[in-house]
Structures are given as C-alpha cells and as structure tokens.
Structure 1
Amino acid sequence: MTDSSPTDLPALPEKLSVYIIAYNEADKIADAIESVQWADEVLVLDSHSTDNTESIASELGATVKQIPFTTFGKLRNDAIASCQHDWIFSLDADERCTPEAKDEILKILATPDADAYYVPRRNWFMGRWINHCGWYPDYRQPQLFRKQALVFDDAAEVHEGYQVNGKVGYFKSSIIQIPFQNLEQLLHKMQRYSTLGARKLERSGKPVSMGTALGHGLWAFFRIYVLKLGFLDGWAGFVLAFGNLEGTFYRYAKAATAKQSWQPDNPPNSETGAPK
C-alpha cells in the first residue's frame, strides 16, 4: 500500500462568481439567474430598477447590490470589484448560460490554460437564430476571466473599452442571447444607446452634422444587411439592419443637434419673426 501525498490528489476547481448587470429586467432576470445557479456566487448589479427586478433576483437566491449608473465601463469595474472569487463569469440579463457552456466553464476552472476567455453568443430574434448580420459568433468582451485580468474604461458609456492582462482563450460552446423580446424593446434600446453614444461623440470632439448622421446610418445598414449577409436572416435580418441604421443615425444626429442653438422653449412669435 502506498501513501498519496496531497500533491498527488486532483486539483479542486476554482470557485466562480457570476455577475449580472440589470436595469428594469423583470421579464428576463429569472432565466438569466436560473442558468447560473450552479455557480458559487451569483451577484446582480442593479441600477435602482423601478420594476421588481430586485425582488425576483433576491427570491432566486442572488445577492443584489445597487450601483447608480454612470457609464457601462464603471458599472462593470464595480461589478468585478464586488465579486468574492478570483474567477468571474459575466452575464447580461438577456443572456442564458447553456449546459454546454457550463460544462466548458467547469472544465476550465479545473485546469485553466488562459486568464480570460471570449464566449460566442447565439442570438434568437423574431422566432429564429440569427446566423449572419455579424451576430454570430458575436464575441464581445471576455466573459470568463480572472479578477485581475480584465479592466474596463470607466469613461466608456457604451460598447465598453477594456484591457486584458494575460493570456486569452476562446470557448467552443455558446451562450444564448435574447436581445429583444419584441420590437418595442429594440426601439427602447436604440433610444438609450444612441443617447449614450452621442455623449461619447460630444466628448471626442469629432465633427458631426446631420449629413454625417445620414451617411453613417446608411453605411451601418449596408454593412449589416449586405456585407454581413443580413439578408439571409429574412425579415429579422432586415429589422436588425434597419434598427442599426436608426441607432447610428440618431447617435450622430443627437450629437449634432446638441451643438445647435435651438431654443424649443422660446419660439418665434410669428412665422417670420425673431424669437421672443
């Protein structure tokens, strides 16, 4: 009989924190949390939702922390700092971790070979998988990473800039995203993100006009619908391309009109007169 020393034993998997950022996601948050309840910690970073997002998350056993929204970059940095464990998996409220992705996460935690991992997302919209439009594999920032391996730009209002400190890997398995449950949600997100994007443009000092707004909007539609083969995704592809046209146009248009001296509360007192 031989004795086994502690070094002969298989390494235990690293513990995992999952954070989910949310704002008024009562119709989505339960599915997101339930897909990661196997993790050691599930943390919901809520920006003072006015619906029952917080109560749903608490009832499902998630820890809820309220963080006022300033920018997405700062929100994600605050989320990372709030996590207890060294390994973190980030999930948005409209995303779902699949069983296949869960198995891959657990395998990596047992024997990690990188410090941050990109995870492909498969999007479901208008009753179909979106396989084109630049929406698959739809990598964004790394979603599984060591706590010190990923830092976001605090000033990034939207489409957060980030820096990876360490080796990068890529998942084979996908998670699921349900970006919009109806067209109203698409329009709401377009409105919110175009406002955040306009602020970023204003801060950058780039020249903007209504002409550049139209040009960028048309290019966004052409790039998604034609160059990225969005037309192969049927009407869903058209709606996504057109929504991107609108979002891009209004991002530049909002920045352009912010520079104008419009006085909507002080109109002319006649069709040809000067303002009052």
Structure 2
Amino acid sequence: MDTERVQEFFKSALEIKCEGIMVKVLDNMPNPDLQAELDGDGVMPCDPPIKLPPTPSKSKKRSKAKGLTDDVPEEKKGGRRKALLATYEPDKRVDSWLKVKKDYNTTTDTIDLIPIGGWHGQGRKAAWWSPILLAVRNPETGSLEAVTKCMAGFTDTFYKANKEKYAEGSDNVIPRPAYVDYVGEPAVWFEPQEVWEMVFADVTLSPTYTAAIGLVSEERGLSLRFPRFLKVREDKSIDEASTSDFLAALYRKQEAKAPKEEGKVVDDEELD
C-alpha cells in the first residue's frame, strides 16, 4: 500500500472540512488488530500519519495431488463466510467499509460540559440514552447553552448506569427547563447535576447550537466536532463547568493556528 498517497488524500479531505475518508475492506476474514482500532460505532480514528492494519493473512493448505503449497483462504467453521458488500450504505454498520476520521491527540484541549438531555438510542443502544445533549454555562445570564450531542466514549456499563440515573419518571428527569438555551427537543431533559470532561477534534461555527453566540458570531453559536466522553468530573459542581467565554477562547485559539477560510460554516448536526 502506498501510505504516502493515502495520507495525502486523507489530509486533503480534512482541509476541505470533510469528516474523513472511507476505507474499503478487501478481505472478510477476522482481523483482531483492526477490531482493536475500531470504536463502538464502527469508526477508526486516525491521527496522521495513517497506519492501516495489514490485510489478514491466508492459511496455507497442502495440495496432496500436486504436492504444492497454495494460498487458500481458511473457511469459517459452521458455515460459509459472509460476502462483503461492494457499495457503502449510509447509516448502516457493515464490515466492508470503515470510516477513518481525525483523531484526538495528547495535546488536544478538553472541556467540562453539563449533560442536560438525551434521545432514545437505536439498535443495541435502544434501551439507553444516546446521543446525550451537553451544554456550557453562561455566567452572565445564568443559562445553560447547548453545544453538542455525544455518543462516543461511553461503555455499555456507563450507558446502563446513566439510564438508571436518568430514568423516566424519576426526579432526575424534568420538564423542559426555562434556563436551557436550545432550539431542539430531546426525548428527555436531565436535571443538571453532573460535569463531564470531554475531548473533541475541532470547535466549529454552527447554525444549530447556541453556545457562545455573540462572542464569535452574532448569528451562529459554537459546536464541537467528534466529541468524546472522557470521565465524570466528580471534583466539580455544575457551577464550575466550562463557560461560553472559555469555548469562544478555544475557537479563537484554533483559528489562530489554522489557515483562514472565509464563509465556511460546519453544522455539527450533519456530522453525527
């Protein structure tokens, strides 16, 4: 594989604000190394340079008739191997295609957000809240400003505990609060009481989220691309969560490092 060409293609995709690239899997044999790189949503994060795992090796079987060794794919016990799909189907998890997205590195900033709501999950997450709506606080108005949805970084154990904590009908699930600034409507609203440390790839202008509106743009708020849960900040109360001013400062810091692209707006809602 020409990794330099793949890396250049991946870099060019990120520069034009794409989420990443799609990688076609050419062998449907199990690959433990590849599976270890995947997160729970079938996405393989990638911080340049790209290093894709090798195609799984094929077992060798001796041909009794010719006395030669031929490379023959080892057949899956208990039935035929599942054929890989040649085309990519959006919103479906398939083994034949992988999403390679921008990764987070050790120098990435983190932000402390407040979970304020959730939607019913899909598929195996149907019994849990996923995605979860998060907010920054505005100390001047006292409001909580929605900044992003998150459905990455959570373990199944965490999902179960979170659903028990914010069970419908409990005191932790409330009617829509007047102090939350968000144009959408999640399935349930959480009683604000926790602070979660989050990592993310970028801060973007957004027509959907209201966080820090007026601090960077008069018409658009700020959102996070590819947010991922790190941990619950047991040492912080919601009054110590990150503010809209802090979020705006992260955006300015990011823009100071990146080339200017006038008129470029990314709606994080489209990237989930």
**Which category describes the TM-score, using the shorter chain as reference length?**
under 0.3
Flag the structure with higher helix content: 1
Normalising by structure 1, what TM-score? Answer: 0.24
Flag the structure with higher strand content: 2
Normalising by structure 2, what TM-score? Answer: 0.24
